[in-house]
Amino acid sequence: DTEVTQTPKHLVMGMTNKKSLKCEQHMGHRAMYWYKQKAKKPPELMFVYSYEKLSINESVPSRFSPECPNSSLLNLHLHALQPEDSALYLCASSQDYPRGGADTEAFFGQGTRLTVV
């Protein structure tokens, strides 16, 4: 199983709502990532978890709150978002972070298309 599963696939939320994005992998990977991608732009790294601990926060606003309940699951809690936060949110996983020596690939989910109204 080389799949990263993200739910929901689409989400529309109001600016006062609270919602969560979910990501799951069963490859035994110990590193998981959240990316944000706007239309026709490259994915932008938001957060990196390594062994269930937050390793990198790329200065993401606090209205985005990540959580890693266990090594297979990664959540992104959303609260008081703005319309400019509308984007494709991608989850990824890899064997480990950081890695020394030979690098390995990251596996990406299909993403959650978020629309903030």
CB of 36 to other proteins, least distance (A): 11
Question: Shortest CA distance to 92 belongs to which of 41, 38, 63, 50?
Answer: 50
- Alpha-carbon span 3 to 26, nearest angstrom: 8
Residue 49 as a binder of other proteins (CB under 8 A): the answer is: no
Q: Which stretch binds other proteins (CB under 8 A): 14-22, 68-76, 79-87, 101-109?
A: 101-109
Residue 51 CA, chain-centre distance (Å), reads 15
Q: Of the candidates 24, 109, 114, 116, which one interacts with other proteins according to CB under 8 A?
A: 109
Among 29, 94, 114, 116, binds other proteins (CB under 8 A): 94
